Amino acid sequence: MSTYTPPTWNNKFVRWFDERLPIVTLMHKELVVYPAPRNLNYWWSFGSLAGIVLVIMIATGVFLAMYYVPHVDHAFDSVERIMRDVNYGWLLRYAHMNGASVFFMLTYIHLFRGLYFGSYKAPREVLWWMGVIILFLMIMTAFMGYVLPWGQMSFWGATVITNLVSAVPLVGGDLVRWLWGGFTVDNPTLNRFFSLHYLLPMLIVAMVMLHLWALHTKKSNNPLGIDCKGPNDYIPFHPYYTVKDLFSLGVLLLFYAYFIFFAPNFFGEADNYIPANPMVTPPHIVPEWYFLPFYAILRAVPDKLGGVLAMLSAILILFVLPWLDTSKVRSATFRPMYKWFFWAFVADCLFLGYLGAMPAAEPYITMIQFATVYYFAHFLVILPALGWFEKPDPLPESISAPVTSQA
Amino acid sequence: MMTIVKRTLVAAGLATALVGPALASEGTGPALHKQSWGWTGIFGGYNHKDLRHGFEVYRQVCVTCHPLKHLYYRDLMKIGYSEDEVKEIAGNYEVQDGPNDDGEMFTRPATPADRFVAPFANDKIAAMVNGGAVPPDLSLMTKARKQGPDYVYNLLHGFASDAPGEPAAWWLKEREHAGEEPVFPETKYFNDYFPGYAISMPPQLHEGIVTYPDGKSPSVDQMAHDVVSFLNWAAEPELESRKTMGLLTLLYLGILTTFLYGLKKYIWRDIHH
Amino acid sequence: MAEAEDNISILGKEVPRRDFLIYGSTALGVAGVALTAWPFIDSMNPAADTLALATTEVDLSPIQEGQSITVKWQGKPVFVRHRTDREIELAKETDVKSLRDPQADDARVQQEPWLIVVGICTHLGCIPLGQKPGEPRGDYSGWFCPCHGSHYDTAGRIRKGPAPLNLAVPPYKFVDDTTILIG
């Protein structure tokens, strides 16, 4: 691994500026010559794609906030005004609305890529933590954003989810009232959700910076999961991965644009086009698709506090994952058993997602309970045990070795 | 790469296969008769003549009870009415304005810059006049129901009887089958498509109730079709510009992505992995 | 590297594949980003409902001679003054050449009794006094801006003080004898 020697900048102003604030050198080091494993596949594009969608979300959000009115009497109408009277308001709003779904899709794929290729293992535990914190902040932001249009799903989603806090022993009731700023979800709640919905993305940006810092400290994992051993294993980030990520971005935008322009309400619920009515609950309360697995786990436990704890644990368990997985091998490519358990886990999560959308009745409850037990067993039983039972396939010598031997 | 895609699909398939038997729906009432609406599909758009006819149905029938509060009279210019026509249409309605310099509220004829005038001053009056049920605002109706356009179209057709308290034969048979007492509210109308079947609104569309500008009296089916088209436009007035812009965007992104793919191939030509 | 053979032909011209791809992608990308910026910028322009209220109708019949009313047009105050004969005379006999912003009275009114001007001082945007009885009307019986002491005459022209221009005359038309439409 060669050490970085900053180039001498030819442009006088650039040189003058860079001596005082070495931002050009930083960009050069981290985005141009940054050494990346030569074998990253397209699953490694999803992190930067998610970052770009974060920027799109912030941009559209800032402009929407210029017209949105966070008041129970005006919120719904102000969104409709954006849709009808504000120039390109419909575009900003649909891009923001569908952007949330796209953001979660990319992030989930990014997360499962990490699970498959063991990207959470030493020395990248802190990098992984930053990612889990980003996911947590995203969940909070998305939940509060969904409340803002003040439709029926907004209101009742907010009611149901804030009521989770009442499960806290002794102070639960006070805590919920504190959260609401009233006796129900009402104007103060809407106001603070708007304020926080604007704040949290800034924290996400900060966490993304830390995520990248940690990444560039220990460098990317790769599909083989082995450490890079020499200059032959690396290629510079630019132009190789810039162009690869740009191509991925083109494909992503095609997908994203299709939904914005031709199926803008595909991920939404019809009920949210009915203004919030605190006196009538819609017959089926369903969260957005990206919350469904967690929502299912919430309903797995017949006890209020237990359900909330189970749901929180489903995310929190990711923090200790690097120590629950006892296998020394990172990539599932060389783990004949883990490979199958990984796909079983993917199926379990999708199944939980499906169950989360079903009514809270039998046979769904029993199914949810099995799926939830499996979810936790994957982390608490299967992963620790696999490290003992599984006999990994032999690892290649180096990243460039299998290539040269095949050729 | 492909194997991973395949496996994701297999995993998804497995998840659905597991729950296949549980998918059986609640299955009551007749299914919606699906219509083919001109605005669906990526090239879809509105027929402005249908929209104007639908507006005639709205203003001759629905307006008695249903607001359309997200629309302004000026919006009608987007479906082919001239400014003078819109002024005349708006002038038929009275809006409350004020207070004037004497501190009093007064009414004046509506202008194109006014919202569609609601039939009732507030929900309480609306409920009182309509036997306790508030006629919902229609400006987002086709978006606020699952399969909205088909739902509204079928609802307008779906009455079992012109008289209240008379349920459909299939429903009575079903109750009999289940061994239940067929109780249906005396004052409500039976509608196949309304959730719970008991709707407060009597059947509205009858032959001869509406006259189109050409002097013809449309059939019930024609009226239902036109008013649903109009309501869908009311809910999604941006639809046409959205789709035009969407096609251009996809075209542009398609070309850009092709270029980027070529560039990626070119730059990576010497890297094997 | 043997680049020479890696050419593609565009409109009969040989172009290196590399250049074609790089310049093509860059041009497309830059154009795309520029076009994407437009919806964001345009969203900050006045919305359709704001534009729809861009005109104001004023009924002149209740305004007595010598009286003024203030109406709101596009969020700004518009002064409508029913001038007395004396005020019209004052406005007409002024030597146009001596004015800072030379404009004859008949260039500023459509019907002599009715002076309609935007009530915003052309200096720094304050609203001049002189609409209500008892308010100071300045040295020229028109309006007086209290912020920095500009004096306007009975045709709304600047006569004294720091303001550079006469009070603006908004676009308006007489719909009938007693009604005007501003905007």
pTM: 0.90
Among A39, A240, A354, the strongest candidate for a mutation testing the B interface, having the largest count of B CBs within 10 A, is A354
- Judge whether A269 counts as a catalytic residue: no
| A216 assigned binding-site residue | yes
pLDDT, residue B136, reads 95
* Phi then psi dihedrals of residue C71, to 5 deg: -120, 160
Task: Please check whether residue B92 lies inside any domain of the structure.
Answer: no
In a domain, B13, yes or no: yes
More confident residue, B16 or A42: A42
The count of domains in chain B is: 2
Mean of the per-residue pLDDT values for chain B? 89
Band (pLDDT 50/70/90 cuts) for residue B8 is low
Return per-residue pLDDT of chain C as tens, 183 residues: 444 457 888 788 888 888 889 999 999 999 999 999 999 999 999 999 988 888 888 889 889 998 899 998 988 999 999 999 999 999 998 888 889 999 999 899 999 999 999 999 999 999 999 998 888 999 998 999 999 999 999 999 999 999 999 999 999 999 888 889 998
C interface test, pick of A58, A68, A80, A87 with most C CB neighbours within 10 Å = A87
More confident site: A147 or B130: A147
Instruction: Write out the two tokens for B40.
Output: 């669906």
Digit-coded pLDDT (tens) for A73-94: 999 999 999 999 999 999 999 9
DSSP letter for each residue of B191-225: BTTSTTSEESSPP---TTS---TTS----HHHHHH
Instruction: Please check the confidence at residue B12 and state whether its pLDDT lies above 60.
Output: no
What are the Cα distances from residue A368, in Å, to A143, A292, B17? 22, 11, 15
Minimum distance, in Å, between the CA of residue C121 and any CA atom of chain A: 29
pLDDT in tens, B64-122: 999 999 999 999 999 999 999 999 999 999 999 888 778 899 998 999 999 999 999 99
- Compute how many other C-beta atoms are within 10 angstroms of the C-beta atom of residue A256: 24
Indicate whether B136 and B232 sit together in one domain. Answer: yes
Tokens 């008013």 belong to residue = B227
Give the Cβ contact number of residue C54 at 10 Å.
Answer: 12
Neighbours of C182 (CB within 10 A): 20
- Quote the tokens at residue A334: 């060389």
Q: Answer whether B70 sits within 8 Å of A346, measured CB to CB.
A: no
Handedness of CA A320, A326, A332, A333 (dihedral sign): positive
| Res B25: pLDDT | 37
Eight-class DSSP state of A174 = H
Averaged pLDDT of chain A: 94
What is the model's pLDDT at position B17?
47
For residues B230 and B260, membership in a common domain is answered with no
3-state helix, strand, coil in chain B (%, to 5): 50, 5, 45
Burial of A51 (0-12, 13-18, 19+ CB in 10 A): middle
d(CA A132, CA A117): 16
pLDDT at A231: 86
Chain A, residues 104-133, CB within 8 A of chain C, namely: none
* Mean pLDDT, range B170-198, rounded to an integer: 92
Stretch A50-75: mean pLDDT? 98
Among candidate residues A371, A361, A386, the one with its CA nearest the CA of residue A310: A371
The predicted pLDDT at position B20 comes to 40
- Count of C-beta atoms within a 10 Å radius of residue C157: 25
Contacts of residue A233, defined as CB under 8 A and 6 or more positions apart, other chains included, come to A37, A38, A398, A399, A400
- Which C positions 11-40 lie with beta carbon below 8 A of chain B? 17-18, 21-22, 24-25, 28-29, 32
Architecture of domain A289-389: Orthogonal Bundle (1.10)
Per-residue confidence (pLDDT) for residue B4, from 0 to 100: 56
CA atoms within 13 A on the CB side of B165: 3
pLDDT of residue B13: 55
Least confident of A97-111, A325-339, C70-84: C70-84
CB proximity A63 to C under 8 Å = yes
- Whether A277 has a pLDDT exceeding 70, the answer reads yes
The torsion angles phi and psi of B45, rounded to 5 degrees, stand at: -155, 180
Q: How far apart are CA B190 and CA B220, in angstroms?
A: 18
A250 close contact with B: CB closer than 8 A: yes
CB contacts, 8 Å: A99 with chain C: none
First to last CA, chain A: 25
Q: Kindly determine whether residue C42 and residue A85, on different chains, have CB atoms separated by under 8 Å.
A: no
What's the rounded Cα separation, in Å, for the pair A136 and A204?
9
The answer to whether A378 is annotated as binding is no
CATH node for A37-285:
1.20.810.10
Q: Pick from A95, A67, A71: which is nearest to A81 by CA? A: A67
- The minimal CB distance from C22 to the residues B113, B256, B263 is found for B263
Question: What span, in angstroms and rounded, lies between the C-alpha atoms of B72 and B117?
Answer: 9
Same domain, B219 and B252: no
The predicted pLDDT at position A356 comes to 93
Confidence of residue A2 (pLDDT cuts 50, 70, 90): low
Structural domain boundaries enclosing B253? 241-273
Alpha-carbon distance A86 to nearest alpha carbon in chain C (angstroms): 4
Residue B29: per-residue pLDDT? 74
Could you tell me if B159 and B266 lie in one domain?
no
Whole-number Å distance between alpha carbons of A388 and B4: 26
Tell me where in chain A the CATH 1.20.810.10 domain(s) lie. Answer: 37-285
Indicate whether B52 and B169 sit together in one domain. Answer: yes
Q: Does B245 show up as a binding residue in the annotation?
A: no
C26 at the A interface (CB within 8 A)? Answer: no
Which of B102 and A355 is assigned the larger pLDDT?
A: A355
A219 a catalytic residue:
no
Q: How far is A273 from chain B, CA to nearest CA, in Å? A: 5
CB contact under 8 A, A87 and C39: yes
Q: Does residue B256 sit at the C interface (CB-CB below 8 Å)? A: yes
| Among A288, A325, A348, A390, the one annotated catalytic | A288
ipTM above 0.85 for this complex = yes
One domain, residues B67 and B16: yes
Asked whether the beta carbons of A386 and A344 are under 8 A apart, the reply is: no
Confidence of residue A353 (pLDDT cuts 50, 70, 90): very high
Q: Does C52 touch chain B (CB under 8 A)?
A: yes
- Is A110 labelled as part of a ligand binding site? yes
Task: Note whether A261 contacts B140, CB cutoff 8 Å.
Answer: no
> How many CB contacts within 8 angstroms connect chain B with chain C?
28
pLDDT digits (tens, 9 = 90+) for B108-141: 899 999 999 999 999 999 999 988 899 999 999 9
B157, B205: one domain: yes
Is A220 among the catalytic positions? yes
The model's pLDDT over B13-37, given as tens digits with 9 standing for 90+, comes to: 555 444 444 333 344 678 899 999 9
Residue A133 near residue A58, CB atoms below 8 Å? no
CATH architecture label of C50-182 = 3-layer Sandwich (2.102)
Q: Which of these, B45, B68, B214, lies nearest to B142 by C-alpha position?
A: B68
Which letter does DSSP use for residue B189 in this model?
E
Evaluate if residue B1 carries a pLDDT over 80.
no
